Structure 1
């Protein structure tokens, strides 16, 4: 993901949590908020220490980034997404993570500003 496609600041995360809509399944919770002034989507990742050690958390984040890259045509422009990984993601392959993430993104409610 390019630098302008990442959410890094705590204030941006909090804005998505406060104003965004959410959808979840067993593996992920996804919050999304519409940002009209953006011409691309932005992704923020959250993987808790409860999931595992740093190596496991970084592996999960790499797999999620790859799954988002594979699903980029299904993500609308001008949207901020925060993806929170849950415990079952530790035993999943890239294909399973991609399928699960696409499932959650498809079920997201319509976004308004």
Structure 2
């Protein structure tokens, strides 16, 4: 089960804007790039949307890359209730992430979101 549709970053232009204008936060396995959503300046904030970027440098095997993406989506879904709305976020996976388990991804994403100020109460 993936992220709900309203929480997905899907279009190339959205990814491009986040890469060019976003603020980066990094750990040894993941990089989090965040950008305030321009469309959220209206009275109602749009939900925070996430995209995952994982290249063939991480692993040549698509099975491994897809497993990592599923684990990251699961970790984001577990934290979704605490995340502040109105942001666009891209999670970039680094090559050492191949040996990580779900719990490690959950901890790293929580750390990165806290650093970026996207988790309620932090």
Task: Tell me the TM-score normalized by structure 1.
Answer: 0.90
Q: Is residue 4 of structure 1 aligned with residue 6 of structure 2? A: yes
| Unaligned segments of structure 2, at least 5 residues | none
Calculate the aligned-residue CA RMSD, in Å: 1.5
Alignment: residue pair count: 110
Give the C-alpha shift of residue 106 in structure 1. Answer: 1.1
* CA–CA distance in structure 1, aligned partners of residues 54 and 75 of structure 2: 15
Q: Is residue 32 of structure 1 aligned with residue 23 of structure 2? A: no
| Unaligned segments of structure 1, at least 5 residues | none
Deviation string 1:76-104 (CA, Å, 9 cap, x unpaired) is 10110000011122111111110011111
Q: Which residue of 2 aligns with 1:73?
A: 81
Structure 1 segments, 4+ long, off by >4 Å, are none
Q: Is residue 54 of structure 1 aligned with residue 56 of structure 2? A: no
**Does structure 2 retain, via aligned residues, the 8 Å contact 1:21–1:109?**
no
Task: Tell me the TM-score normalized by structure 2.
Answer: 0.83
* CA–CA distance in structure 1, aligned partners of residues 95 and 64 of structure 2: 11
**Which structure is larger by alpha-carbon Rg, 1 or 2?**
2
